Structure formats: structure tokens, C-alpha cells
Structure 1
Amino acid sequence: MKHVLITGGSRGIGASAALHCAQRGMGVILTYNAQPDAAARVVERIHAKGGKAVALQLDVGSSGSFAAFATQLKDTLRDTWDATRLSGLVNNAGFGLFNPIKSVTEAQFDSLFNVHLKGPFFLTQVLLPLLADGASIVNITSATTRVATAGVAPYAAFKGGLEVLTRYMAKEFGERRIRVNAVAPGAIRTDLGGGLNDEFEALLAAQTALGRVGEPDDVGRVIAGLLGDDQAWVNAQTIEVAGGYNI
């Protein structure tokens, strides 16, 4: 049985990935930062369908907490599944911010950096001893690394850094047969950054070859697939899941 950790699994893409992993028979540990009730609802949905999941609190922007979290994670694997290793890690937790470069504050910049690049780097580092040989890591990036969108420069820059880090992780972890890929969603109907209003959604749909914005399940299915065995020869790739956005 595979056991996977999904950060930011209480809503949106993370919640969808958790549900799809559970449907594939994986044991799921999902994290939340400030929404325990939402995380509990995801766990309940998994249990209702015969799966098993646990929700743990984690602030990905606080790297000083990672060592204690790793101990908690190790205990959870043992107590829930009598397991000692993770088969998958999804670095998904994040938040959006719309602000032009001219008005971005240093505090906003640092907060985005801590969550979207520093956090995944050091969380992965701390969890390496818990990752099984042959495990799969999926880093969630963004189509904004390819298509410049005014107002999200720091977010996109750090997601671009995470795509580069993905290739370096794949290079360095290859000796343990750990695969590392990035999934870059396009416009998805979630509440990230305040969600999409009707006008903005219509604009994005018009720029997408398939004529609509995405749903969390469009991305969650891809993440679950990369954590399974069917995509075992896919490595060091950034896979854009955007329905043909701005092509």
C-alpha cells in the first residue's frame, strides 16, 4: 500500500488530489494551516468511500516547524498504517496575491517566497529520510511561469524557481529512484487568491483551447496518476494542466 503526504489538502486542488489518491487505494495524510474543519471534511469524504486518511496541521511558511512535523508524521504512519515510509509527497500548499510589482511590499514578497519556494525545499529535505526508495514527489507550480500575467510577479517567479528545483531534485534523488515532477495548473475554479468572478472566468475561458476554466479534479487526477505506478517513467518534467491556455 502506498502512503502519500499532500500539503494544503483541505481545499481545492490539494483536496481533489487527496480524494483521487484514496480512490486509488493509497493511504493519505493531508495538511492544513488554518482550516481544520475543511480538512476534517476531506477526511470524512475519504472514509465514507472506504479509504483511510489523517489530517495534520502544518504551516509550510514556517520551516522551523518541519523537524517536529516530521516526527509527528512518522508517528502517524506507524499508528495509522503500521508503516514507516512515504511513497509520495505533494508540495501543494500555497496562496495567491494580486498586486503589481510597483506596490508589492517586502513582507508580501517574503511570505510568498517562504510558502512557495523555501517551504517546499526544506520540507522535502527534512522528509527525505521518510521517503521510500522509488517514491514520487510532485511539486505544484503554475501556468503563470509560462504566460506572464500582470499582478502575480512574485508568485510566478517563485513557482518558476520551484520548476527549476524540480529538475535538480530529480537529478539528485535519482540514485534512490525517487521521481520528481511538477504539475502546472492553469486557471482553476478554486478560492486561491479570492477565486474567479464571472467576467474574469469568461476571459480566461476564451483564452483556453478547450473553452473553459479548469476544475480541481482536472488537476487532482493528474497528481494521483504521477504518484502511482502507471507514470513510473515520467521524471523531471513540468506538466501543464490547463486545457490549452494561451497557445
Structure 2
Amino acid sequence: MKTNNVNAGKQKIALITGGSRGLGKNTAQHLARKDVDIVLTYHSKQDEAAAVVADLRQLGRTAVAIQLDVGNAASFLGFSQSLSQVLQDNWGQQQFDYLLNNAGIGSHAHFADTSEAQFDQLMNVHFKGVFFLTQRLLPLLKDGGRILNVSSGLTRFALPGYSAYAAMKGAVEVLSRYQAKELGSRGISVNVLAPGAIETDFGHGAVRDNAVLNQFVAEQTALGRAGLPDDIGGVAAALLAGDTGWINGQRIEASGGMFL
């Protein structure tokens, strides 16, 4: 459905991958309260995505959900074409302002036990997907826009069972600095947000649902508890749409002071 937006060409729009749940959903809600409209992607749970869209519309924002498998780079051309049409139909615009590369999967396997299939899946979703999706979307991202890539506290501290996952996130952190350097001529800033342990359904909800793990996290965190989605969504929204434009090429950890 088309919208009669009197601010066509001026309305700020964010694209959030993996925006149907967890940190992506929470960031979308925070951005909506900053008067930012949202395009979110979902992998398979269309009903959850539709519910988030409805919630954002209740907040007075225009919001659209598009299916995307970030682990399938061959689909990115088609996705970019769909996104271009969505931008035109809903906002009368050809570009968007903010990109949050948030979509991801959890995987726990010790280094000695990690299979090639597990490694490839993590690489496709967390690194190759971020690399080539962002590349494909560059023509649709406005000059002066912002990119925020999601990493992990696990690139700073090591916990057994996350060698492959953390390695992919480490690669994203290096990539982000190169993106900042190479996209600076367009006025695009690129940063990394590294959450600590958060109570979401990520990793089968382990931090949220396992009382022993939750207590361990709390004991290792300076602020004395595990993180909540609001602790991350607010930071992400500030980095994307706040007065933070001079922050560039940086890794910002939001972990409550975990393993200091």
C-alpha cells in the first residue's frame, strides 16, 4: 500500500536485518520512538514479523517486513530490487538512511568438535552475508547515512564453545574499519556494536532461561545482572539516529562491564 507522505524524500528510514525478534525488534522500537520508519527483514517467521510491523505502526511509524535469508548471498540482488520497490511505494524515496546488520544465529561447539558445516553456516550468515549484503545495498544507502554491524563481547573475552562464532564476529569488526575508511568519502559512518550476554531467545534463550548461566553472567558483570534487550536497542538506536555522527570506525561494547 502506498502512503501519502508529505515528507517524501526527507523521512528517515532504517533497514534492520533480523528485525522480527530480539535485539533487532527492540532496536526497531527505539528507532520508531525517534521518528524513524522501519524496513525489517525476517528469515521464516512471517507472523512474528507482521506483529512487529503492527506494533511499529501503533507507534505512528510506517513499517514494512521483507523476507531475507542473510546466509544466501545469491538472493541479495532480488532482495535489493524488492527493497527498492518498497522504498518507492511506501515513501516515494529511492534510498534509506540507516543499515543495521543484526540478523544472526547462535552456535555452541568446542573448537575440536566444530564441523565444516557448522563453520560454513556461521560464515555465510555472520560474515559473508554482512559483506555482500552491504555491498549490494550501497546504491540504496544515502550519502551521509550510517551502518551499524553487530558483533559480540566474545571477540574481547573467550568462553569455550564459541571459537567459530567469535571468529566470524572478529572478521566483521575488521571489515567495519575498512568500510568506514572506504565509505567515508560518501559521508557514511560505520561502527560495530558488541553486546554482552543478553536475555533474548538467541542461542535457544540460554541466558534468559538457564538460571545457573544467568547467575554466572550476573556475577561476572560489573552492574550485577545480565543484559536486557532494552540495554542494547537503545544503544543501537543512538548510534544510528542519535547525535553520534562523529563516532566512526569504532567498536562499542554494551555489556554492563562483563569480565572487566
TM-score bracket for this pair, using the shorter chain length? over 0.9
Aligned-partner Cα distance in 2 for 1:79–1:229: 27
Deviation digits for residues 178-209 of structure 1 (CA, Å, limit 9, x no counterpart): 00000000000011111121100000010000
Aligned-residue RMSD, C-alpha: 0.7
Number of the residue aligned with 1:132:
142
3-state SS in 1 of match to 2:129: helix
1:52, distance to aligned residue in structure 2 (A): 1.4
Number of the residue aligned with 1:164:
174
Aligned-partner Cα distance in 2 for 1:14–1:228: 15
Aligned-partner Cα distance in 2 for 1:127–1:86: 10
Which one-letter code corresponds to 1:175 in the other structure?
S
Deviation digits for residues 33-80 of structure 1 (CA, Å, limit 9, x no counterpart): 011111111111111121111010000000000000000000000101
Number of the residue aligned with 1:213:
226
Number of the residue aligned with 1:120:
130
Q: 2:154 aligns with which of 144, 155, 160?
A: 144
Q: 1:19 aligns with which of 21, 29, 36?
A: 29
Aligned-partner Cα distance in 1 for 2:245–2:112: 44
TM-score by length of 1: 0.99
Number of the residue aligned with 1:100:
110
3-state SS in 2 of match to 1:84: coil
What is the aligned length? 247
Gaps of 5+ in 2: 1-10
Aligned-partner Cα distance in 2 for 1:161–1:186: 18
Number of the residue aligned with 1:88:
98
Aligned-partner Cα distance in 2 for 1:75–1:148: 43
The list of structure 1 runs, each at least 4 consecutive aligned residues, that deviate by more than 3 angstroms after superposition, is: none
TM-score by length of 2: 0.94
Number of the residue aligned with 1:199:
212
Deviation digits for residues 79-131 of structure 1 (CA, Å, limit 9, x no counterpart): 01111111010000001111111111100100000000000000000000001
Identity of aligned residues (%): 51
